[in-house]
Amino acid sequence: MSEPASSLSLELQPQGNHQCLQVTPSSDFCLRGTLKVPGDKSISHRSLMLGALAEGETSIEGLLLGEDPCSTAACFTAMGAKISELNSTLITVQGVGLGNLQEPTNILDAGNSGTTMRLMMGLLAGQEGKFFTVTGDDSLRSRPMSRVVKPLEMMGAQIWGRADNSRAPLAIRGHKLQSIHYQSPIASAQVKSAVLLAGLLAAGETTVTEPALSRDHSERMLRAFGATVQIDPETKSATVTGWPKLTGQKVIVPGDISSAAFWLVAAAIIPGSELLLTNVGVNPTRTGILDALALMEADIELLNQRDVTGEPVADIRVRASQLRACKIGGDLIPRLVDEIPILAVAALFAQGTTVISDAEELRVKESDRLSVMATQLGKMGAKITELPDGLEISGGQSLSGAELDSFTDHRIAMSLAIAALTAKGVSRLHRADAASVSYPDFFTSLQNLIA
């Protein structure tokens, strides 16, 4: 990483317990090449969890080796699952069978992973007679858990925690659960998945209805492992039947479209760029980023579309183009909520004013992503207004180098790094190593694509 490219210099420098990325851009570079992005984080989590619950062996190819899935693997190993050494080629999971997770001898640590904590809570709630304590890092301990605690308590769960049971650390005593029909006030795959996973341990049918469809990886994978899952697109509902026999499966994890999003935007806004991203998951509940970039008239093409173990996959070609401003909101938000930080960067280079709305969920992610993106891009000279539920971004702007901070949020780190490539003057991105949560090789890949 310390070797500068001929036209642009990227240098990671130690900074206490973190790393600072110094970006020294120039006007004569572009991004070119073929890239395979890391495995899908959502699918990686779920393959480990369901493999741990299933009878027999599950094999997983293409697992994301980021910090979050590692937290999931460590938690389920502590509860009796036998998981081989993690790698992206092939790992195996020997499951314990539904309802047979062991009471751990220590506190379960979800690290920075909200997915690990919230989905795991659904599974722990029904482990009758067993006691669990779950916690996470500073960021995760500040994030709201009541959105999961409330429906689980409706099913009979016994959960105690800080701030009226809304903040970790949380203590859970496994209890016999009853099935419910939960009307979720928000479209959240984590909430939906936690309730459906708890429903595996409840007699009868458990249903979750959302105001808009959230990503459906849990439903797809539950079916693959043998559960009975019904989907009603009209009512935006998903139903699982309790106490199925889950059987170990072969899982091939596609590339994460949320990771691909950084390259899609980077190639679209940097003149002369052209990238081919291979084996990317294009699950329709996750392709809001493609729809948003289509509204912005980005030059993107899907190639070699196919299905891999129940998930749609494609290769994606993106070329530099002149973007146009658009409005992003409504039902599109749940399908691109993780991509809004990098879409904010794209909007800086679009003709006109882009308005992002209905995205208040970003305020309770690893950071307040609306506030952080507004302040950090503002340091670079961007004309960006923070709204209660979104951002208003003026396009056609020139950015200047600045002192930036990721706030230890992986998506903020990568979004600001892409923005810094386009700035005039040196930028220093503090705590850039946060990117390793979901994309450990991001900065190495970026260096390799510079032409």
Q: What is the pLDDT of residues 140-170, one digit of tens each?
A: 999 999 999 999 999 999 999 999 999 999 9
Percent of the chain scored above 70 by pLDDT? 98
The Cα–Cα gap between 214 and 180 comes to 19
- Same domain, yes or no: 206 and 327: no
Would you call 368 a catalytic residue per the annotation? no
Write phi, then psi, for 339 (nearest 5 degrees): -95, 0
Domain of 66 in residue numbering reads as 41-252
User: Is the pLDDT at 223 greater than 90, yes or no?
Assistant: yes
- Give residue 282's identity as a one-letter amino acid code: V
User: Is the pLDDT at 182 greater than 50, yes or no?
Assistant: yes
Domain presence at residue 148: yes
- Same domain, yes or no: 197 and 313: no
- Same domain, yes or no: 438 and 347: yes
The Cα–Cα gap between 331 and 214 comes to 9
Domain presence at residue 2: no
- Same domain, yes or no: 270 and 385: yes
Answer with the one of 252, 272, 291 that is the final residue of a domain. Answer: 252
Answer with the one of 252, 281, 310 that is the final residue of a domain. Answer: 252
| Number of domains making up the chain | 2
**Is residue 205 classed as helix, strand or coil in its secondary structure?**
strand
Domain presence at residue 287: yes
Domain presence at residue 408: yes
Domain presence at residue 356: yes
- Same domain, yes or no: 97 and 235: yes
- Same domain, yes or no: 379 and 233: no
Give whole-number Cα distances, 332 to 101, 246, 259, 395, in Å.
Answer: 37, 33, 18, 21
Say what angle helices 340-347 and 257-269 make with each other, to 10 degrees: 10
Give tens-digit pLDDT for 264-310.
999 999 999 999 999 999 999 999 999 999 999 999 999 999 988 77
Position 26 confidence tier, pLDDT thresholds 50, 70, 90: confident
**Is residue 22 classed as helix, strand or coil in its secondary structure?**
strand
User: b/e map of 316-350 (b: 16 or more CB within 10 Å)?
Assistant: bbbebbebebbebeeebbbbbbbbbbbbbbbbbbb
Looking at residues 194-201, what average pLDDT do you find?
98
Three-class secondary structure assignment of 100-119: CCCCCCCCEECCCCHHHHHH
Position 118 confidence tier, pLDDT thresholds 50, 70, 90: very high
Percent of the chain scored above 90 by pLDDT? 94
Looking at residues 120-125, what average pLDDT do you find?
98
Position 27 confidence tier, pLDDT thresholds 50, 70, 90: confident
Among 338, 405, 409, 433, the one annotated catalytic: 338
Domain presence at residue 4: no
- Residue matched to tokens 């808009």: 212
The CATH number that applies at residue 187 is 3.65.10.10
- Name the residue with higher pLDDT: 25 or 196: 196
- Same domain, yes or no: 211 and 258: no
Mean of pLDDT over the chain: 95
User: What pLDDT is recorded for position 5?
Assistant: 41
Give tens-digit pLDDT for 409-432.
999 999 999 999 999 999 999 999
Looking at residues 27-49, what average pLDDT do you find?
95
Looking at residues 82-102, what average pLDDT do you find?
96
The Cα–Cα gap between 237 and 192 comes to 9
Answer with the one of 252, 283, 302 that is the final residue of a domain. Answer: 252
- Name the residue with higher pLDDT: 238 or 310: 238
Domain presence at residue 363: yes
The Cα–Cα gap between 168 and 136 comes to 7
User: What pLDDT is recorded for position 426?
Assistant: 96
User: b/e map of 268-293 (b: 16 or more CB within 10 Å)?
Assistant: bbbeebebbbbbbbbbebbbbbbebb
Query: 135 - beta bridge partners?
Result: 109
Give tens-digit pLDDT for 358-402.
999 999 899 999 999 999 999 999 999 999 999 999 999 899 999
If you ran DSSP here, which 8-state letter would residue 450 be given?
Answer: B
User: What pLDDT is recorded for position 3?
Assistant: 44
User: What pLDDT is recorded for position 397?
Assistant: 84
The Cα–Cα gap between 94 and 200 comes to 19
User: What pLDDT is recorded for position 7?
Assistant: 64
- Same domain, yes or no: 52 and 89: yes
